Amino acid sequence: MASGKARAESGPKLILASGSARRRMIFQALGLRFAAVTSGLEEPACAGQEPEAFVRSLAGAKARAVVEQMKLRTAPPWVVAADTVVVVDRAVFGQPADVHDARRMMRALAGRGHEVLTAVSIWSGPIEVVGFVETTVVRFRALEATELERYLLDGDWRGKAGAYAIQGAAGAFVLAVEGDAWNVVGFPVRSFLDRARAAGIPMPQERAVRPGLARLWPVADDELFADRRWGPRWG
């Protein structure tokens, strides 16, 4: 029978507290040894909180729920949770409830800039060891009514904060991105790797993760970690 130490060494180093297929794909592209576990938490609406505090509280609550669910006392495995919202005029957009909600969100984003906030929370047992919020600014071009309706009919807005995914059909609407575009995909890769390493959590180096990320989202290699990107070239 394997010892507890042997099981810990052979098991996952990270628990991704998320049901997001995009985040699972990013973790796979990074070559991380992980298991995905959903927290089961219902995401509340933002009721008067500042957007940064709101998204950070959601990420922390997801991580805590999985720690308690799995009865974890210490790391490894570390539990990683994230949550993403879109913010325009201080209004917080999560995932749209239906096509009418998606239409409302896309109309609010069209022809202007907005912020994408992703909070990341990393726990070792019952203690948060890393917590931060990454912000990226995205600018959309104006949208014709007919192209918006085609986009809504396609359904790519489902399950996406702000009713869009930059790596999907809505990439054609993007004029400019300032900051980490992976943050808009749903996970701030560079900041996660840097902050996890600083906390003593083993992480691969940038040169090791570039090939996997490039296969996941085929942009030019020198743009994978760029701080400023200009569209439209995201589809």
Active-site residues, by number, are: 83
- Identity of the amino acid at 19: G
Identify which of 221, 215, 227, 133 has the alpha carbon closest to the alpha carbon of residue 180.
Answer: 227
SS3 7: helix
- Identity of the amino acid at 37: V
| Interacting residues of 161 by C-beta distance below 8 A, sequence separation 6+ | 84, 85, 86, 93, 94, 95, 116, 186
- Identity of the amino acid at 82: A
The encoded tokens of residue 217 equal 């989202």
The strand pair at 228-230 and 174-178 is best described as: antiparallel
Report d(CA 16, CA 57) in Å as an integer: 17
